[in-house]
Amino acid sequence: MAAKIIASPIREFILIALIAGAFSFSYFFPDYRLPVLLAALLGSLATFWQAFRVLLFERRVSIETFNSAALIVSFVTAEFSSAAFIALMLLFAELLEWNTRTRSSRAIEELLKLKPLKAFREKGGEKEEVLAEDIEKGDVIVVESGSRIPVDGVVIFGGASVNESSVTGESLPAQKTIGDKVFGSTLNESGILKVRAERVGKESTLERMVELMKKAAENKSRPEKIADKFAALFLPVVALAGAATYFLSGNVSMTVAIFLVACADDIAVAIPLAMTAAIGRAAKRGVIIKGGEWLDVLSKMRTLVLDKTGTLTYGVFSVRDVKIEPGVSENEFWQSAAVAEKFSEHAVARAIFREAMKRVGEIPDPDEFKVYGGSGVIAKHGNNEIVIGDESILVPAGISESAIKDKYKDLFAAGRAKAYAFLNKKLIGAFVLDDIPRPEAAESVKKLTDIGVKRIIMFTGDNPRVAADVARALGIKEFRASMSPEEKLLALEAVEEESGPVGMVGDGINDAPALARANIGIAMGGTGTAVAVEAADAIILPDDLGRISEIILLGRKTLSVIKGDIVIWFFSNAIGFALVFSGVFGPALAAFYNFITDFLPLINSARLFREK
């Protein structure tokens, strides 16, 4: 029911028992109608209050208004049995709603069960058992086969097959090795890992997922908006039909029967039921949708704006290519680079270190190292001096510029950042780095086009050359570059005026205004900032762009089911009206007919729970 949550079904069970008892009493004592009247009144109070509250405070017609009209007609005409039937139907509807809403609570409970209570932390070369809640950012966690990973982090040693279905929805385990990210609550099925904790406590993916599901469950008003639109459209039609019947025939019973047949308590539940099922399906695939209204928007959306950095790309530098000098082994090259960059926090250094870890395993600490801000690093390990950096590192390292003259021009043309590597002042190779597109990005863009998203635009604060390269690589025809957050917002508004409902996909703080302004904002939740996640209406936790087309199709499927509910209601009412006008149905049979046909749209909506 609109804007209403049932904390416990006890009241509904008591009222159902009371109405059932009143009907039993009236069967044996048909002349005593007071018990049925009292039971009907008690069962109707919640519906009357909701209708009154919405009319008074929100000044609009809701589905409760529709149902209240049928109840009032029954009471005024002394058709107390009919009123009791309607009240009984609405109570059953509330029980069904309670059941669907508690699915969210049960889902949250199941998620929390995945959180391990204890973990093994490595400290000073020793392994100690600690409470999972005591793990801090930067701690090294040892995860053995059969154990769940307690926090989000990055693998620094080992390899394992990890079941990530609790977060990503993927049934097949993912192979994790050094440098890969892992999520808390996921299961290490085989192998051993050492994980450096990056997100702990409330920042972890599991905790964020639970919090988002709670907020989605609390978002009560949105799923019912379609039902209220339905009520606003059909209530005047039914009222006119009832009035016309009375003025043309003068038959009060027939008029009452019309209102009883048309009572729309089934639609009041069927629409939220369909949306609850769809939101649950999305959650199983790692997508949190904050309310049923957004499924409606997704179904109508034909224009999508995609942020580049962190959405279409990883948002961090990655090694795009390397050049190793003749006579230098790969192991020597990567080992030297890893030792030098191990403790540097610069984005280029972290990218080189991540790539090196994948190739050489555990990395010894440098004996000495010094970071030259914006230039590079000079490190010593044993008898070796290692230098990593751009041209500006040469002077502090005491290396002649001739060592790099005319070197690697073709290599450096392919990326946005570069770094030379020297061992004992001898050039051993170079790196080129870039914020590279996600591997699924091009296929995801193609899929969006295939399902009917007619206009896809890339927004970025990056320069036009980089933007053009990424757009071309991903098959995106439209892009806007060098944009500030304000410019993104203004451009989004212009796109909406040109093309209608528009979705925005982003991950950063600078995307938050546009995410909040879009008809639907979608955040990449795995790497996204808390601000972006809060501003968005849907969150993709696995950072998989392919989920965007999935939820668009889910929105269309959900709206198709809802339209089916309305068609079922329309035709069942048409049959009911025919039976009323032919004299077959009086008020009591009309109410009973409505009660029986209530289940048809509910069964239709429940299909979304079963479909894969």
H or E element, residue 431: strand 426-434
What residues form DSSP beta bridges with 191?
160
What does the pLDDT read at residue 105?
A: 61
Q: Give pLDDT, residue 171.
A: 54
Q: Of residues 228, 266, 296, 307, which has the active-site annotation?
A: 307
β-bridge partners, 160: 176, 191
437 secondary structure, DSSP code: B
| Residues paired with 324 in a beta bridge | 429
Please give the pLDDT value at position 243: 86
598 is known as an active-site residue: no
Tokens standing for residue 34 = 């007071």
Give whole-number Cα distances, 258 to 83, 451, 518, in Å: 13, 43, 43
What are the C-alpha distances in Å from 386 to residues 109, 277, 398?
52, 58, 12
Confirm if 590 and 261 have CB atoms less than 8 A apart.
yes
Q: Using alpha carbons, list the distances in angstroms from residue 78 to 41, 82, 96, 525.
A: 12, 9, 29, 57
What number of other Cβ atoms are within 10 A of residue 244's Cβ?
Answer: 12
Set out the domains of the chain in order of their start, with CATH numbers. 318-434 (3.40.1110.10)
In 3D, which of 331, 261, 313, 271 has the Cα closest to residue 66? 261
- Per-residue confidence (pLDDT) for residue 220, from 0 to 100: 38
Query: What pairs with residue 480 in β-bridges?
Result: 459
Q: At 480, which helix (H) or strand (E)?
A: strand 478-480
- pLDDT the model gives residue 293: 82
Q: Closest Cα to residue 422, out of 452, 393, 455, 456? A: 393
Taking the chain (612 residues) in consecutive chunks of 10 residues, what is each chunk's mean pLDDT?
Answer: 55 89 86 88 88 82 78 80 80 70 62 82 88 92 92 90 73 78 88 91 78 57 59 80 85 84 79 85 87 88 93 86 95 96 87 90 89 87 95 93 88 80 96 89 97 95 85 95 86 93 85 87 76 80 91 96 93 93 86 84 88 66
